[in-house]
């Protein structure tokens, strides 16, 4: 390494001017380490920060409680696709699909079982569910989670079936 490269390297590392770096190197027989020490002694460079590690709680200025760290991790997890599936399976595990007729509960099965039934026999299941609406059956989700939107959708499907049934019977009575 020639002298010019040494001056440049010292100038960059010590954050001093070209003249100061050259002078320090000349005064220390072009030895980079000695020149850096000399500049530090003169107060021309900023000494590196010393970091101390301790297991003592009192001495830790930037202590973050574990609960905050875990909460942040859980929040971050809920945001991704993994969180979506976790939430989905929690809903399936903690809620039930309920079938009622005249406010009397007929069937109460876990949502996950209902999804499995729909997956393997969706054509038959959907037909049975739609026909059930015309015979006065009502469907809802009950459990730990509030599935308000899904229940509103089920309620509106039941109301639509009632309207169709009323119009059908109205047309049949007018024909007679």
Q: What is the DSSP letter of 37?
A: H
Question: Cα–Cα distance between 170 and 44 in angstroms, integer?
Answer: 98
DSSP codes, 127-144? HHHHHHHHTTEEEEEEES
Handedness of CA 70, 75, 76, 80 (dihedral sign): positive
Q: What is the token pair recorded at 130?
A: 């739609």
What are 151-159's contacts with CB under 8 Å, separation 24+?
A: 157/133, 158/133
Stated pTM of the model: 0.50
Tell me the C-alpha distance between 101 and 84, whole Å.
33
CB 128 within 8 A of CB 107: no
Tokens matching residue 57? 């709680």
Per-position pLDDT tens, the chain of length 176: 788 888 898 888 888 888 888 999 999 998 988 998 898 888 887 655 666 666 665 555 565 566 666 666 655 555 678 888 888 888 888 899 999 998 899 999 998 899 999 999 999 999 999 999 989 999 999 888 778 888 899 899 989 988 988 888 887 777 76
Instruction: For residue 147, give the H/E element and its range.
Output: none
- Exposed e or buried b per residue across 129-148, where buried means at least 16 C-beta atoms within 10 angstroms of its C-beta: beebbeeebbbbbebebebe
Extents of the domains making up the chain: 3-42, 95-175
């Amino acid at each position: 390494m020639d002298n010019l490269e040494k001056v440049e390297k010292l100038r960059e590392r010590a954050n001093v001017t070209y003249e100061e770096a050259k002078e320090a190197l000349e005064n220390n027989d072009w030895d980079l380490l000695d020149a850096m020490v000399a500049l530090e002694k003169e107060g021309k460079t900023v000494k590196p920060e010393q970091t101390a590690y301790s297991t003592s709680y009192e001495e830790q200025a930037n202590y973050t409680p574990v609960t905050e760290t875990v909460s942040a991790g859980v929040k971050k997890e809920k945001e991704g696709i993994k969180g979506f599936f976790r939430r989905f399976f929690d809903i399936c595990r903690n809620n039930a699909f309920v079938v009622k007729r005249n406010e009397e509960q007929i069937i109460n099965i876990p949502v996950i079982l209902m999804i499995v039934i729909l997956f393997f026999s969706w054509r038959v299941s959907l037909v049975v569910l739609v026909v059930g609406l015309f015979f006065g059956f009502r469907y809802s989700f009950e459990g730990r989670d509030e599935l308000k939107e899904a229940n509103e959708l089920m309620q509106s499907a039941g109301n639509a079936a009632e309207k169709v049934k009323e119009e059908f019977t109205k047309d049949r009575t007018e024909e007679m």
